[in-house]
């Protein structure tokens, strides 16, 4: 069943100037903030737990749990950081919020500022989105002028909170939250060694919250409708609506908002959403959640619900919301070669298993492409994937194997056909 | 660098407070404002001085981040997205069209210094692939004809980026 009322995109296309506070408030903007500041902070955390809101940046970690961790930290100051680095190929949904409803992201970040008694929020916007950075700067100025940022917000004595807008520079790994913090500090954006957890030792070594753009927008929705109602939009494995990005061989590519738990077939085939393939050929597989996500074969995706639980149970993942559709003309080896080119390009080079591993994996896929594989090469591929997963320091290296393993599981025959 | 140029650079460096935190924005803005699309030695030195950091660190940053360039660039650098969603939406054909139209291989600049092209990863416009990005503008749903007229229009100034 299609979404009755958009939750995250309710103002998009309605406002003539997306940075205007007046228009934003006309369509319910800042209602959540007004509600939040008269709520007990513990009660806000309870609502977020009840909502079962999972982080929308990719890892799907429960947002309520992350907020509680930071809430419990005694150290000050605390920093709020919004991850708007959106670099996962096939993902372009944060762009929509940042450009078409930037104040909704600001509202979520101000609520976080209130809950944690923070004075400084940061938003790290990918360098490729320069025109969006300009929109966001304008939205921040407008919010400040209207008293929603700055000193004594909404007239509340001591509620001082402002936002810093930081530009990325075109490095995918800076979307990893510790690399992102290094980049904010004006350093080269390489990941840090973890632990410690960023909620304990984050930006400038202080307790820090990092959440995705869409996650912050969801926070306002939870406060507005209540945790229970938000949960009921989704399923017991994750509440709310999700922004999805359809691309590849799909007739109607673009960003859509869907209720979690919607039948995947409806997303792919109904005219309101994907509308089937663009090529007339059937779907062969789908790459979910970006390059670091798994590939689902046409068998695997049959009768699925777009739901965290149903997906995980079937070795799939929601991730960032990317849904990259590939038709039957695409060979699994060619596809994996393309994915591996990306990882080779984006590995930051800090750890050898990732730097060399991605290069070796690419060489091996290219050898398969030439049908030059030898006996034992598939086993070698499996070993290499295990090695890079276990020995890499950050999520980039650790997830290189996800798509490759699922491709191998689904299309082993295509790999075997490349062995002499 | 003459005094006017220097003042303009100082304005860019200090427009958002001139903090080290803003270094990427500052460098990207300086690069966009430069004639040849890169961070030259003098500019790097000025940034280092104003932000109280060493020149080595500024260069470390310029070489680490893909958007920043250490060498002069062509006037129009056409960046063709090659991540999977675009790759399988015929981004290779874009490269072939560009090669045919411009007469130089990927990575080389045309003799008049106007054009060069290369691959880059996803620019977040996957719904309109294949795409080319020039400076801050994305051109989508490209085919041979569109590329040909895009190049003509860039050359005669009808398309401004
Ligand atoms: C290599 C890499 C790239 C990432 N890129 C992004 C990104 O562009 N945007 C994002 O929100 N999260 C990204 N993440 C996930 C973040 O590290 C982090 O989990 C997320 O920002 C947390 O926010 P959330 O809990 O609200 O999803 C990336 C992770 C890795 C390992
Ligand atoms: S796993 Fe890869 S991207 Fe991550 S820190 Fe190591 S080398 Fe860098
Ligand atoms: S994959 Fe080409 S723009 Fe995203």
Per-residue model confidence (pLDDT) at position A7:
97
Per-residue model confidence (pLDDT) at position A72:
96
Residue A49 contacts by C-beta under 8 Å, 6 or more apart in sequence? A62, A64, A65, A68, A227
Cα separation of A266 and A263, whole Å? Answer: 5
Is the CB of residue B129 below 6 angstroms from any atom belonging to ligand 3? yes
Tokens 């460096």 sit on residue: B13
Over residues A340-396, the pLDDT tens digits come to 999 999 999 999 999 999 999 999 999 999 999 999 999 999 999 999 999 999 999
Q: A89 vs B126: CB contact, 8 Å cut-off?
A: yes
Residue A207 contacts by C-beta under 8 Å, 6 or more apart in sequence? A70, A73, A75, A76, A78, A79, A198, A199, A200, A201
DSSP reduced 3-state for A77: coil
Over residues B111-155, the pLDDT tens digits come to 999 999 999 999 999 999 999 999 999 999 999 999 999 999 999
Q: A184 vs B122: CB contact, 8 Å cut-off?
A: no
What is the CATH code of the structural domain delimited by A241-327? 3.10.20.600
Residue A209 contacts by C-beta under 8 Å, 6 or more apart in sequence? A66, A67, A70, A78, A79, A80, A81, A112, A116, A198, A199, A202
Residue A127's closest chain B neighbor by CA?
B67
Sheet holding A295-297, edge to edge: A254-259, A241-248, A322-327, A283-288, A295-297
Residue A132's closest chain B neighbor by CA?
B136
Same fold, A21-233 and A241-327: no
Q: A92 vs B127: CB contact, 8 Å cut-off?
A: yes
Q: B126 vs A130: CB contact, 8 Å cut-off?
A: no
Instruction: Tell me the pTM.
Output: 0.97
Number of A–B residue contacts, CB under 8 Å: 129
Query: Which chain B residues touch A170 with a CB distance below 8 Å?
Result: 65-68, 120
- CATH label, A21-233, candidates 3.90.209.20, 3.40.50.11540, 3.10.20.30, 1.10.3720.10: 3.40.50.11540
Is the CB of residue B94 below 6 angstroms from any atom belonging to ligand 3? no
Whether B144 and chain A come into contact, CB under 8 Å, resolves to no
Per-residue model confidence (pLDDT) at position A420:
87
Question: Please, is A345 exposed, middle or buried when counting C-beta atoms within 10 Å of its C-beta (0-12, 13-18, 19+)?
Answer: middle
Architecture of domain A332-416: Up-down Bundle (1.20)
- What's the rounded mean pLDDT across residues A386-414? 97
Asked, as a colleague might, if the bond just before A195 is cis with ω within 30 of 0, I would say yes
Query: Which chain B residues touch A248 with a CB distance below 8 Å?
Result: 84-85, 88-89, 126
Whether B43 and chain A come into contact, CB under 8 Å, resolves to no
C-alpha B111, offset from chain centre: 19
Parallel/antiparallel/unpaired status of strands A162-167 and A254-259 = unpaired
Per-residue model confidence (pLDDT) at position A180:
98
Whether B91 and chain A come into contact, CB under 8 Å, resolves to no
Bigger pLDDT: A166 vs A5: A166
The count of other CB atoms within 10 Å of the CB of residue A80 is 28
Report which bound ligand comes closest to the CA of B130: 3
Tokens 């799907």 sit on residue: A60
Bigger pLDDT: A420 vs A383: A383
Per-residue model confidence (pLDDT) at position A301:
98
DSSP reduced 3-state for A239: coil
Query: Which chain A residues touch B124 with a CB distance below 8 Å?
Result: 86-87, 91-92, 95, 126, 128-129
Ligand 1 centroid distance, CA of A281 (Å): 34
Residue A390 contacts by C-beta under 8 Å, 6 or more apart in sequence? none
User: Among B53, B50, B13, which residue's Cα sits nearest to residue B30?
Assistant: B13
Ligand 3 centroid distance, CA of A226 (Å): 36
Q: How far is CA B10 from CA A341, B3, B18, B23, B59, in A?
A: 39, 10, 9, 13, 18
Please compute, for residue A398, the number of CA atoms within 13 A of its CA located in the half-sphere on the CB side: 7
Lowest mean pLDDT among A29-33, A191-195, A206-210, B66-70: A191-195
DSSP reduced 3-state for A262: strand
Q: B123 vs A167: CB contact, 8 Å cut-off?
A: no
Residue A172's closest chain B neighbor by CA?
B121
Q: Is the pLDDT of residue A2 over 80?
A: no
Q: How close A186 gets to chain B, by Cα (Å)? A: 5
Q: Which of A170, A253, A339 sits opposite B127 (nearest CB)?
A: A253
CA atoms A184, A187, A188, A192: torsion sign: negative
What is the percent of chain A with per-residue pLDDT over 70, rounded to a whole number? 100
Ligand 3 centroid distance, CA of B99 (Å): 21
Cα separation of B152 and B157, whole Å? Answer: 8
Over residues A102-113, the pLDDT tens digits come to 999 999 999 999
When computed from its CA atoms, the radius of gyration of chain A, rounded to whole angstroms, is 22
Cα separation of A329 and A338, whole Å? Answer: 15
The count of other CB atoms within 10 Å of the CB of residue A52 is 22
Cα separation of A198 and A176, whole Å? Answer: 12
Q: In sequence order, which ranges of A37-92 are alpha helices (DSSP H)?
A: 41-51, 63-72
Q: B82 vs A95: CB contact, 8 Å cut-off?
A: no
DSSP reduced 3-state for A117: coil
Query: Which chain A residues touch B12 with a CB distance below 8 Å?
Result: none
DSSP reduced 3-state for A245: strand
Q: How far apart are the first and last CA of chain B?
A: 25
Q: Considering chain A, what is the average pLDDT of its residues?
A: 97
Residue by residue, pLDDT tens for chain B (161 residues) are 899 999 999 999 999 889 999 999 999 999 999 999 999 999 999 999 999 999 999 999 999 999 999 999 999 999 999 999 999 999 999 999 999 999 999 999 999 999 999 999 999 999 999 999 999 999 999 999 999 999 999 999 999 88
Per-residue model confidence (pLDDT) at position A1:
54
Q: A291 vs B89: CB contact, 8 Å cut-off?
A: no
- Largest CA-CA distance found in chain B, in angstroms, rounded: 50
Tally the residues of chain A: 420
Cα separation of B118 and B107, whole Å? Answer: 5
Cα separation of B133 and B139, whole Å? Answer: 6
E strands of A89-240, at which residues? 120-125, 162-167, 208-212
Per-residue model confidence (pLDDT) at position A126:
97
Sheet holding A162-167, edge to edge: A162-167, A120-125, A79-84, A208-212
Per-residue model confidence (pLDDT) at position A46:
98
Cα separation of A128 and B126, whole Å? Answer: 13
Q: A131 vs B136: CB contact, 8 Å cut-off?
A: yes
Whether B65 and chain A come into contact, CB under 8 Å, resolves to yes
In chain A, domain spans:
21-233, 241-327, 332-416
Q: Which of B24, B84, B120 sits opposite A338 (nearest CB)?
A: B84
């Amino acid at each position: 069943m299609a979404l009755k009322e958009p939750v995250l995109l309710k103002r998009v296309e309605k406002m003539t100037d997306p940075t205007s506070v007046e228009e934003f408030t006309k369509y319910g903007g800042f209602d959540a903030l007004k509600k939040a500041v008269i709520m007990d902070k513990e009660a806000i955390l309870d609502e977020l737990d009840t909502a079962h809101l999972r982080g929308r940046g990719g890892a799907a970690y429960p947002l309520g749990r992350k907020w509680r961790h930071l809430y419990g930290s005694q150290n000050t100051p605390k920093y709020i950081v919004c991850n708007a680095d959106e670099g996962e190929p096939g993902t372009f949904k944060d762009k929509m919020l940042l450009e078409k409803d930037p104040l909704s992201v600001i509202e979520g970040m101000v609520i976080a500022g209130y809950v944690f008694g923070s004075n400084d929020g940061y938003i790290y916007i990918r360098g490729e989105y320069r025109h969006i950075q300009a929109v966001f700067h304008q939205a921040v100025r407008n919010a400040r002028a209207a008293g929603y940022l700055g000193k004594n917000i909404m007239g509340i004595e001591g509620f001082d909170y402002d936002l810093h807008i930081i530009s990325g520079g075109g490095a995918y790994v800076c979307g990893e939250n510790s690399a992102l913090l290094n980049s904010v500090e004006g350093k080269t954006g390489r990941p840090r060694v973890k632990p410690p957890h960023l909620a304990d030792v984050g930006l400038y070594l202080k307790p820090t919250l990092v959440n995705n753009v869409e996650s912050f927008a969801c926070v306002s929705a939870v406060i507005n409708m209540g945790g229970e109602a938000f949960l009921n939009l989704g399923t017991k494995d994750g509440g709310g609506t999700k922004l999805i990005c359809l691309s590849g061989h799909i007739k109607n590519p673009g960003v859509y908002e869907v209720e979690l738990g919607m039948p995947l077939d409806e997303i792919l085939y109904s005219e309101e959403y994907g509308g089937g393939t663009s090529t007339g050929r059937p779907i062969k597989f789908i790459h979910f959640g970006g390059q670091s996500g798994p590939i689902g074969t046409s068998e695997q995706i049959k009768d699925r619900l777009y739901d965290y639980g149903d997906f995980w149970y079937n070795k799939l993942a929601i991730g960032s919301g990317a849904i990259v559709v590939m038709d039957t003309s695409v060979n699994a080896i060619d596809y994996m070669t393309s994915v591996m080119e990306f990882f080779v390009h984006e590995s930051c080079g800090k750890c050898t298993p990732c730097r060399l591993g991605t290069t070796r994996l690419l060489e091996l896929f290219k050898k398969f492409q030439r049908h030059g594989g030898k006996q034992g090469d598939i086993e070698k591929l499996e070993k290499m994937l295990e090695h890079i997963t276990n020995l890499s320091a950050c999520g980039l290296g650790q997830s290189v194997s996800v798509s490759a393993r699922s491709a191998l599981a689904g299309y082993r025959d295509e790999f075997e056909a490349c062995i002499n | 660098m003459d005094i006017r140029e220097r003042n303009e650079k100082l304005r860019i460096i200090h427009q958002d407070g001139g903090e080290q935190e803003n270094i990427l924005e500052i460098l990207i803005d300086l690069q966009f404002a430069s004639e040849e699309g890169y961070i030259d030695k003098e500019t790097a030195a000025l940034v280092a001085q104003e932000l109280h950091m060493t020149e080595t660190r500024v260069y470390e940053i310029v070489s680490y981040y893909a958007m920043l360039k250490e060498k002069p660039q062509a006037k129009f650098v056409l960046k063709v997205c090659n991540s999977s969603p675009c790759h399988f939406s015929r981004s290779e054909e874009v490269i072939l069209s560009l090669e045919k139209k411009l007469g130089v291989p990927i990575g080389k600049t045309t003799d008049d210094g106007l054009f060069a092209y290369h691959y880059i990863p996803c620019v977040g416009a996957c719904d309109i692939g294949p795409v080319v990005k020039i400076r801050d503008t994305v051109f989508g749903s490209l085919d041979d004809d569109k590329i040909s007229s895009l190049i003509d229009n860039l050359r005669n100034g009808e398309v401004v980026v």
